[in-house]
């Protein structure tokens, strides 16, 4: 059984650019949730995908968008990057759209300059 993996590990982008982050869910899990964790803060929920459909969204602007593929892996896309988007982006997978047994990946550290 493989755990949750994310790529890339680190990323540096310039303000105004676009970025795509990737997440492979744990084997057997059909739900992926994305979180943004600013330095020294708790993770903040961005959105969740369940069986390829968005199943809830946090307080993030539309320039944050996502996708889930038939194999349940997922992408997070951020357009028009701002300096405040610099953070650790975490994905978590689970079996079903519940918080129970939600397993997090190691995250992607995004720096916007």
Residues of this chain that interact with another protein (CB under 8 A) are 4, 31, 33, 35, 40-45, 47-48, 50, 55-58, 90, 92, 97-107
Closest to another protein by CB, 7 or 17: 7
Minimal distance, residue 12 CB to another protein, in Å: 17
Shortest reach from residue 45's CB to another protein, in Å: 5
Residue 80 CB coordination number (10 Å): 11
Nearest residue to 10 via CA among 108, 113, 86: 108
Least distance in angstroms from the C-beta of 48 to another protein: 3
Residue whose CB is less far from another protein, 40 or 70: 40
């Amino acid at each position: 059984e493989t755990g949750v993996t994310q790529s890339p590990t680190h990323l540096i982008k310039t303000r105004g650019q676009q970025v795509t982050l990737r997440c492979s869910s744990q084997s057997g899990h059909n739900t992926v949730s994305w979180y943004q964790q600013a330095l020294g803060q708790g993770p903040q929920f961005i959105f969740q995908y369940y069986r390829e459909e968005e199943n809830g969204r946090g307080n993030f602007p539309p320039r944050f968008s996502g996708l889930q593929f038939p194999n349940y892996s997922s992408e997070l896309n951020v357009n028009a990057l701002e300096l405040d988007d610099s953070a650790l982006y975490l994905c978590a997978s689970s079996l079903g759209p519940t918080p129970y047994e939600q397993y997090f990946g190691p995250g992607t550290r995004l720096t916007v300059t």
